[in-house]
């Protein structure tokens, strides 16, 4: 158990819909990262938050947004979903922005039908 | 730009034998970290081992060791005494920007190597 909790584990939704993925980092970790893993794109970095502030942004679509709350949990919002958004979405956390280790949650498998 | 290259899409190894998974990287950061993660069929990403760019010795964690050759920019994972449970995807990853305050430091991942351990 990595200590990073992601909910839900599985999500099936229709095109055009909006979903929210939730991540609770390990206790004491201030930094949260979101990644998308699809078969054709591999692991793609989406966004990083550190202690509530956006720290880095990767290949995140405008239809996607994220935030980190005062209790340090994070949510990734995906809207106007398309079939191509079907993927495994990972959250990772680390103790500091430049910490050596990052532990991943078990992921949320999103299927858009 | 930072880049990780894993050139072995798939590897096979006999149970109890050792296997090396290749990883090369490219970065201009003077300070960076290299990581290996294991992803079994269940999908979770399991941290295996870490090597810092300034570490003098190669990292080891149980049956895992990292063969770090800085001049060649390679960070190969060696798994000794392979077990059936080692069958999984293995990802090499890198983080940089350690010396730049208040900047992001996301992981850059390779495309992975699928390891199959044969009984």
pLDDT digits 0-9 by tens, A83-94: 999 999 999 998
Distance CA A33, CA A84 (A): 21
Task: Give B91's contacts in chain A (Cβ within 8 Å).
Answer: 43
3-state secondary structure of B47: strand
**Residue B107 to residue A109, Cβ atoms within 8 A:** no
Across the interface, of A42, A48, A106, the residue whose CB is closest to B111 is A42
**Mean pLDDT of the region A46-66:** 93
According to the model, what pLDDT value does residue A95 have?
78
Of A43, A92, A102, the CB nearest to B91: A43
Contact A28, A51 (CB under 8 A): no
Q: What is the pLDDT of residue B107?
A: 84
* Contact pairs from chain A to chain B, CB under 8 Å: 63
Q: Is the pLDDT of residue B38 over 70?
A: yes
Per-residue pLDDT, B97: 66
Identify the residue whose tokens are 């498998």. A109
CA distance B80 to chain A (A): 23
Residue B45 and residue A58: Cβ atoms within 8 Å? no
Going by C-alpha positions, the residue among A31, A37, A46, A54 that lies closest to residue A100 is A31
Asked whether residue B119 carries a pLDDT value surpassing 90, the answer given is yes
pLDDT class for B98, splitting at 50, 70, 90?
low
pLDDT reading at A98 higher than 60: no
More confident residue, A101 or B6: B6
Ranges assigned E (strand) in chain B = 3-5, 10-14, 19-21, 24-26, 33-39, 46-52, 60-61, 64-69, 74-79, 88-95, 108-109, 113-118
Averaged pLDDT for residues A69-94: 96
Q: Measuring CA to CA, how many Å separate B76 from each of A14, A92, B34, B36, B73?
A: 42, 23, 10, 9, 10
């Amino acid at each position: 158990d990595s200590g990073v909790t992601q909910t839900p584990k599985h999500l099936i939704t229709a095109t055009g819909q909006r979903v929210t993925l939730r991540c609770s980092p390990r206790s004491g970790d201030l930094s949260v990262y979101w990644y998308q893993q699809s078969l054709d794109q591999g692991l793609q970095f989406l966004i990083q938050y550190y202690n509530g502030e956006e720290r880095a942004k990767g290949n995140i679509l405008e239809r996607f947004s994220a935030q980190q709350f005062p209790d340090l949990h994070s949510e990734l919002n995906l809207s106007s979903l398309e079939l191509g958004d079907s993927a495994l979405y990972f959250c990772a956390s680390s103790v500091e922005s430049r910490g050596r280790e990052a532990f991943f949650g078990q992921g949320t498998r999103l299927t858009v039908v | 730009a930072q880049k990780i290259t894993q050139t072995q899409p798939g590897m096979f190894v006999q149970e109890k034998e050792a296997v090396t998974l290749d990883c090369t990287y490219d970065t201009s950061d003077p300070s960076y970290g290299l990581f290996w993660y294991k992803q079994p069929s269940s999908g979770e990403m399991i941290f295996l081992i870490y090597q810092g760019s300034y570490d003098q010795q190669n990292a080891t964690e149980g049956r895992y060791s990292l063969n770090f050759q800085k001049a060649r920019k390679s960070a190969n994972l060696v798994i000794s005494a392979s077990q059936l449970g080692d069958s999984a995807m293995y990802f090499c990853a890198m983080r940089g920007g350690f010396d730049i305050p208040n900047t992001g430091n996301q992981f850059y991942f390779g495309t992975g190597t699928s390891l199959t351990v044969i009984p």
